[in-house]
Amino acid sequence: MTTTLDRPAPTPSNPPPLQKAKQKLVVIGNGMAPGRALEKLFEQAPDAYDVTIFNAEPRVNYDRIMLSPVLSGEKTFEQIVIHGDGWYVKHGVTLYKGATVTQIDRSARTVTTARGVTVPYDKLLVATGSLPIVIPVPGHGLAGVLTYRDLDDVQAMLIAAKSRGTAVVIGGGLLGLEAAVGLREQGMDVTVVHLAPTLMERQLDSPAGHLLQRAIEQRGIKVLTKANTKAILGEKKVEAVLLEDGTRLVADLVVMAVGIRPNAQLAKDAGIIVNRGIVVDQSMRTSDHDIYAVGECAESHGQVFGLVAPLYDMAGVIAAQLAGDRDAAFKPMAVATKLKVTGINLFSAGDFAEGKDRQEIVLRDAARGVYKRLVIMGDKLVGTVLYGDTTDGAWFFDFIKKGTSIAELRETLIFGPSYAGGAPLDPTAAVAALPDEAEICGCNGVCKGKIVVAINSLGLKTLDDVRVHTKASASCGSCTGLVEQLLKVRLGEAYNPAAVQALCGCTSYGHDDVRRLIVAKGVKTIPGLMQALEWRTSCGCAKCRPALNYYLLCAWPGEYEDDSQSRFINERVHANIQKDGTYSVVPRMWGGMTSAKELRAIADVVEKFNIPAVKCTGGQRIDMLGVKKEDLPGVWADLNKAGLVSGAAYGKALRTVKTCVGSEWCRFGTQDSTGLGVKLEKFLWGSWTPAKLKLAVSGCPRNCAEATCKDIGIVCVESGYDIHFAGAAGLDIKGTELLGHVDTEAECVEVVAALTQLYREQGRYLERVYKWAKRVGYDTVRQQVMSDKARRRALYDRFVLSQRFTQKDPWAERVAGKDAHEFRPLADLRVLQAAE
Amino acid sequence: MSCYIDIGAIADIPLRGARVVKSAAGCIAVFRTAENEAFAVDDKCPHKGGPLSQGLVHDRSVTCPLHNWVIALDTGAAQGADEGKACTYPLKVENGRILLDCSALATTVA
């Protein structure tokens, strides 16, 4: 704040320039288009406006394109937030969440919300978006009939999908198909009902539409084309969909995804000129000079827009206009479409209708499922449809946008830029051949040149770096491959994202290779393994040895002899080393329950061994800190006498099972959460895992045991047990994912054991459950321990087998004399020296 | 002048392990490598004083249990990017017995 000190004190006759009242900018709507407009505005003129946003949705700005991955479970809402709450604070924006503006008073220059809040504006930006079209067939208002537009719709679908029932999606366009695939991923039985003869007929020609239909059907989704919905049937809620031809489709859920229309009513009521959308000129102004419109509600050059690229262009123009650039103008450009369904590659751009003046070049490769079609008018490329292999999409799109002559390339055009007289195909040749202006990221309008300059000048090395600095591939992510190829072209061998990370400097094998080879080669000792896999060091290092010890232990239960010298000191002496070389001791308290006898034993031990500190842990146990190493066996012996055993608080192993008091005591408890926690802990204790494993059981959804941030968490409900996994509350904070629901306690124990075993077999050493699950995919885990019952049983059996050899209290073993050398000095020269 | 004290049998130390010898000058960690060599190093990491005897022994080095510094057993020097040196003590192994040179100890005490 030194600037204010340098300035003379403000007086009425000499007002400092900064005190000039800022203009008030009010934004109605908080979608992607106004979000982008503000982002650009703050870059160009950070202090020009006081900004107020009214958002009818009760949340911050998120990436609407990514709703489909949220529906299919590949992403969470948190992952698709564009501007978190902090962004609004940082830019001094007042954000009203869940506030619908009901009136614009142009003469008073104010807007008013449904709750009666009135705010004045100097400039107003209308970004009311669009509304889903609801076909007015009988029954469209029944419960269970949804549209697909915002997060509330997705959440409603996710709740409906829990029933694993039957869904009918009306509309086989982009949104409808994404909804259908998402619901299918959630386990529903899905039928798509589409009016036209082929799917996505606005973006695809009919051959590509058929290929797409086949791919969709291969995912277990039924597709009915030329199907017209006559009525939705049901008493109170939807029960079936009736088609014009008499077909009756049973349905627990109906999703209407037949299109959108601009939401322009508010503007219309205010007397602003509205055609299909709010009419704007090329500076994005409406018929009122101080009111702008942006996004799906706006109509420009007689067109309305639904894809993100032109909407972001509009946003850029508005930001420039608001920042004072009167020349900024919006011109609609050709747009390309991609389908965001994992595993289906589809690209279309331009105009690909047939016509007398048009010629086409088609390439089909049935075996690879590839279809490519180029539509040519004169010597120009005007449209393209690519299915199966979309690598050259950006290259073709560049020709379409620029209208470059293709006369000389025509014969080989369809093979793409990498075709060079039979030379071997270099996967990066296509992107290397692109001109600098070629668009790579359609969502954010980032061209190749911008990415290359960023890679070179900022020394970017990773995909994430590029995303942070250029935003390329940071929205829908479908151009990720292109961005990676650009990195590869610029950095050469230095960029190799697919390379397996070596376990450590002693080997070039990665964790998974090592585990596979342990089993394949039947290796059962660390030296044997190092020999077989040609370790570069004579006996490994502190990084690989504990990992190998764990992998061997997990692969050969009962056979492998644990190598204590390959364990970190804590696991070797079954206590936690502290900064001064003393240890801390934590006995197990099953499910967090204890007794007078145990507490008395702990008190006695603390006094007898002069233990300096006693503390309650976060896992509902008691920690004795500052125990001398030589005292450990004595401490353990006394604790053992009261029935207390090692809590493994030091291990990459089962730690705690935290519980609440559940139905035993709590008036809200639905099940005996304490009892279940104790059962789980007694079943799982002693098992070694890739990293520490923490559980919790809550007796009701109030979740007092905080189960939803644990590696495995159980939330009891009236109907049984919701099993969660992959939470974190340490270095990272992450809520759990729902694994599934079971009805009985026995089934719950089986699922938890199977999940633990799957993690033991697949987790990399030191990789916590949430990282493992993210790496292998939450759905893969669900599939293996919930859907596939035989597999679950096999995992459970392997876990039980492994437990047979590990459930021995390590403290009792050491009290009985095991590893005695650990706790005694080799020699005490002090006596000798004193004698001298 | 060197004077050797018998501090124990090398077999009393686990392979790739260590035991502690207490002295008036503080604890000394006596290591036994996979190759059956023995080394004596101050049981204090040059970084934050961690007990090296509790570390993981690999080749001719030990990784400190507190913050993973790697210390060379023959020189006591920190490896890699870290800088620091732990005091080492001469010893010899004869007939399976470890003989520690106590003249070095005496100097340390003095």
Please tell me whether the overall predicted TM-score, pTM, comes out greater than 0.80 for this model: no
Q: What is the CATH number of the domain that holds A122?
A: 3.50.50.60
CB A696 within 8 A of CB A659: yes
Residue A506 forms part of a structural domain: no
Q: Which residue has the tokens 């911008």?
A: A450
Q: Which domain holds residue A530?
A: 511-567
Would you call A828 an interface residue with chain B, using a CB distance cutoff of 8 Å? yes
CA angle A468, A472, A474 (to 5 degrees): 65
Q: Which residue intervals of A199-352 are DSSP H helices? A: 206-218, 265-269, 308-322
End-of-domain residue from the set A322, A339, A362: A322
Q: Which residue of B has its CA nearest to A537?
A: B59
Residue A343 forms part of a structural domain: no
**ipTM, 2 dp:** 0.87
A315 shares a domain with A246: no
A540 contacts in B (CB within 8 Å)? 58
Q: Quick one: how many helices (H) and strands (E) in chain A?
A: 28, 42
Residue A221 forms part of a structural domain: yes
pLDDT, position A485: 83
CB A621 within 8 A of CB A647: yes
End-of-domain residue from the set A292, A322, A352: A322
A253 shares a domain with A138: yes
d(CA B90, CA B102): 9
Burial of A493 by CB count in 10 Å (0-12 exposed, 13-18 middle, 19+ buried)?
Answer: exposed
Interchain CB distance below 8 Å, A829 and B7: yes
A201 shares a domain with A89: no
Residue A331 forms part of a structural domain: no
DSSP A11: B
Interchain CB distance below 8 Å, A829 and B59: no
End-of-domain residue from the set A605, A622, A651: A651
Mutant choice from B47, B56, B100 vs A, greatest count of A C-beta within 10 A = B56
CATH architecture designation of domain B13-89: 3-layer Sandwich (2.102)
* Sequence ranges of the domains in chain B: 13-89
A143 shares a domain with A87: no
Q: How far is B17 from chain A (nearest CA, A)?
A: 6
pLDDT, position A422: 42
A86 shares a domain with A59: yes
Q: What is the CATH number of the domain that holds A606?
A: 3.90.480.10
Q: How far is A568 from chain B (nearest CA, A)?
A: 7
Tell me, what amino acid is at A799? F
Residues of chain A with pLDDT under 50: 1-19, 420-424
Q: Which residue has the tokens 């509009």?
A: A314
d(CA A589, CA A622): 8
A195 shares a domain with A123: no
A666 shares a domain with A800: yes
Burial of A212 by CB count in 10 Å (0-12 exposed, 13-18 middle, 19+ buried)?
Answer: buried
Return the closest-CA partner of residue A481 out of A470, A490, A472: A472
d(CA A198, CA A205): 8
B17 contacts in A (CB within 8 Å)? 565
A791 shares a domain with A675: yes
CB A254 within 8 A of CB A146: yes
d(CA A345, CA A362): 17
B105 contacts in A (CB within 8 Å)? 829, 833
Query: Who among B15, B20, B105 is closest to A565 (CB)?
Result: B15
Q: How far is CA A795 from the centre of its chain?
A: 27
3-state helix, strand, coil in chain B (%, to 5): 15, 45, 45
pLDDT, position A3: 35
> Could you count the other beta carbons within 10 Å of the beta carbon of residue A701?
14
Token pair listed for A201: 């007929």
pLDDT tens digits along A5-22: 334 444 444 444 444 578
d(CA A232, CA A571): 63
pLDDT, position A364: 78
A267 shares a domain with A126: yes
Residue A557 forms part of a structural domain: yes
A793 shares a domain with A692: yes
CB B59 within 8 A of CB A506: no
Q: Which residue of A has its CA nearest to B18?
A: A822
d(CA A740, CA A162): 9
Strand order in the sheet with A101-105: A101-105, A110-113, A118-120
Query: Who among B34, B48, B56 is closest to A568 (CB)?
Result: B56
Mutant choice from B3, B22, B69 vs A, greatest count of A C-beta within 10 A = B22
A266 shares a domain with A254: no
A49 shares a domain with A107: yes
d(CA B26, CA A823): 17
Return the closest-CA partner of residue A685 out of A756, A777, A771: A756
Q: Number of folded domains in chain A? A: 5
Q: Which residue has the tokens 């207390």?
A: A644
Residue A481 forms part of a structural domain: no
A825 contacts in B (CB within 8 Å)? 19-22, 27
